[in-house]
Amino acid sequence: MHNTKRSSQSIKLLYFFPLKFIGLLTHQESIIISHVDLCVDFESMKRSTFITCILIGLVDAFWNKAAQIIPSSLNPLNLLFFNRCMEDLGCFYTGAPFFHPLNRPISLPPVNDPTPKFMLFTPTHPNSTYLLEISKESLKNSSFDPQLESKFLIHGFLSSLGDDDVRFQTKDALLESGKYNVIIVDWTDYNGPPYEQAVANTRVIGAVVAKLIKFLRKETGISPKSVHLIGHSLGAHTAGYAGERVPNIGRITGLDPAGPCFQNSPAEVRLDPTDALFVDIIHTDGADIILRGLGMNEPLGHMDFFPNGGSLQLGCVRTSQSDSAAGRAINFTAAWRLNGCDHDRANRYFHESIQSKCKFDSVKCDDYEDYEKGKCNKSNSISAYMGFHAQMKTELDNPAKFYLRTNAEAPFCAK
């Protein structure tokens, strides 16, 4: 299988013929195609691994078709799932679409009534942490200014929010460059292993974030359009769940949204363009976890940015140990700890973009190969800034993919 690319088209024909025969090629077509491409492009695969990869895709396809045909009330698998309901937050079902035999075989209920901390920083109190609670008294005693835009920073899996955490660096950059309410969402009590539990908890943490935004709207009159949610990894999907509950959120920035348990999932399971008026994504580790990636390689927003192709970032070194941990695809915790450089780069790019005079200029292109060949440039394509200064371009068709190169170390923006 060392020369699998040459047989890509024939493999697709063999793969798609039975699916077309049973009428399976519906909205899942693009996902299935990407899965086949994933299999045939992994040149180091052994024959047995390659065949397994294709079989996984077939199981995935037939599962989705069955879900379309069989009413949920008649599906015996639904007996294995249940709702976890919480006052003011609603119910969280563990079955489909939040269960899938391949994409999310372990679907756990979220924790009961979580209490994430909301760390408020404002222009008048840029360095003193105020723990904002969802109560009139707490709001009254705070320096929250309803006349300012509000930036929510949401961390991901395993983040500890130490003093050197990039969220605090981003907070400082924001308050040095403008006047904002900056709220760091601390859900460190709920983001630890097992990974599948942290995945489940993103749903309820997103619900609590939405509850806070609704409270601020009711008590201070803020517009959801003035809210910008910035989430990394699992935090990106958390932002999506919040946006799903609050119509007309102004912007959500997804910083390398987590891939495991989200890749190839329906829109309601992951961050998607309907979660805010403007959804922009920075992909830095976008490969399937089986192929050693922690992010997502599929477009998720109105504008998706793929620096250095969106997978391997310049200056990040993969060791055989990290490759092994990620390649097992079952030890997510080990993969995150050993293989986090590429995944974290989205944080670094966004942080730098806030104050840098260099604007992370990118060009719209169909794929990175065409970009590398120089087929896409400012003279024949649309350009856009990646990061803090990204702006919605109404003339674009979704999804719009943008590519750029970066430096291997800070400053990352390449002029």
Report whether 304 contacts 362 (CB < 8 A). no
Q: Is the pLDDT of residue 328 over 60?
A: no
Pairing of strands 361-364, 400-404: antiparallel
pLDDT tens digits, 1-40: 444 444 444 444 444 444 444 444 444 444 444 444 445 4
User: Which pLDDT score, from 0 to 100, does residue 64 have?
Assistant: 60
User: Which pLDDT score, from 0 to 100, does residue 329 have?
Assistant: 45
Nearest to 248 by CA among 230, 283, 222: 222
Q: Which residue has the tokens 């803090």?
A: 388
285 labelled catalytic: no
2 labelled catalytic: no
389 labelled catalytic: no
Q: Is the pLDDT of residue 327 over 80?
A: no
User: Which pLDDT score, from 0 to 100, does residue 292 have?
Assistant: 65
113 is annotated as contributing to ligand binding: no
Q: Which residue has the tokens 């086949």?
A: 36
Confidence of residue 396 (pLDDT cuts 50, 70, 90): confident
Rg of the chain over Cα atoms, rounded to whole angstroms, equals 21
304 is annotated as contributing to ligand binding: no
Confidence of residue 347 (pLDDT cuts 50, 70, 90): very high
User: Which pLDDT score, from 0 to 100, does residue 164 have?
Assistant: 86
Lowest mean pLDDT, pick from 78-87, 109-118, 142-151, 380-389 = 78-87
User: Which pLDDT score, from 0 to 100, does residue 138 have?
Assistant: 99
User: Which pLDDT score, from 0 to 100, does residue 101 have?
Assistant: 84
Confidence of residue 103 (pLDDT cuts 50, 70, 90): confident
Q: Is the pLDDT of residue 301 over 70?
A: yes
Lowest mean pLDDT, pick from 38-47, 126-135, 405-414 = 38-47
User: Which pLDDT score, from 0 to 100, does residue 218 have?
Assistant: 98
Is omega for the bond preceding 97 within 30 degrees of 0, making it cis? yes
Higher pLDDT, 102 or 58: 102
What is the identity of the amino acid at 193?
P
Question: What's the average model confidence in pLDDT over 179-192?
Answer: 98
User: Which pLDDT score, from 0 to 100, does residue 134 have?
Assistant: 98
Nearest to 321 by CA among 345, 338, 333: 338
Confidence of residue 175 (pLDDT cuts 50, 70, 90): very high
Confidence of residue 222 (pLDDT cuts 50, 70, 90): very high
Nearest to 255 by CA among 134, 143, 170, 326: 170
Q: Is the pLDDT of residue 361 over 50?
A: yes
Which of these is catalytic: 233, 311, 353, 381?
Answer: 233
Lowest mean pLDDT, pick from 137-146, 178-187, 373-382 = 373-382
Cα(322)–Cα(262) distance, integer angstroms = 21
Confidence of residue 69 (pLDDT cuts 50, 70, 90): low
| Averaged pLDDT of the chain | 85
Which of these is catalytic: 35, 100, 232, 343?
Answer: 343
Q: Is the pLDDT of residue 278 over 70?
A: yes
275 is annotated as contributing to ligand binding: yes
Q: How far, rounded to the nearest angstrom, does the alpha carbon of residue 232 sit from its chain's CA centroid?
A: 7
Lowest mean pLDDT, pick from 41-50, 51-60, 93-102, 167-176 = 41-50
User: Which pLDDT score, from 0 to 100, does residue 17 have?
Assistant: 45
Q: Is the pLDDT of residue 75 over 70?
A: no
Lowest mean pLDDT, pick from 240-244, 295-299, 317-321 = 317-321
Q: 3-state SS string over the chain?
A: CCCHHHHHHHHHHHHHHHHHHCCCCCCCHHHHHHHHHHHHHCCCCCHHHHHHHHHHHHHHHHHHHHHHHCCHHHCHHHHHCCEEEECCCEEEECCCCCCECCCECCCCCCCCCCCCEEEEEECCEEEEEEEECCCHHHHHCCCCCCCCEEEEEECCCCCCCCCCCHHHHHHHHHHHHCCEEEEEEECCCCCCCCHHHHHHHHHHHHHHHHHHHHHHHHHHCCCHHHEEEEEECHHHHHHHHHHHHCCCCCEEEEECCCCCCCCCCCHHHCCCHHHCCEEEEECCCCCCHHHCCCCCCCCCCCEEEEEHHHCCCCCCCCCHHHHHHHHHCCCHHHHHHHCHHHHHHHHHHHHHHHHCCCCCEEEECCCHHHHHCCCCCCCCCCEEECCCCCCCCCCCCCCEEEEECECCCCCCECC
C-beta neighbour count of 350 within 10 angstroms: 25
Confidence of residue 201 (pLDDT cuts 50, 70, 90): very high
Lowest mean pLDDT, pick from 46-60, 88-102, 113-127, 384-398 = 46-60
User: Which pLDDT score, from 0 to 100, does residue 74 have?
Assistant: 58
Which of these is catalytic: 150, 155, 237, 256?
Answer: 256
Tokens, residue 309? 């192709």
Q: Is the pLDDT of residue 41 over 60?
A: no
Cα(387)–Cα(366) distance, integer angstroms = 20
Lowest mean pLDDT, pick from 17-21, 97-101, 201-205, 231-235 = 17-21
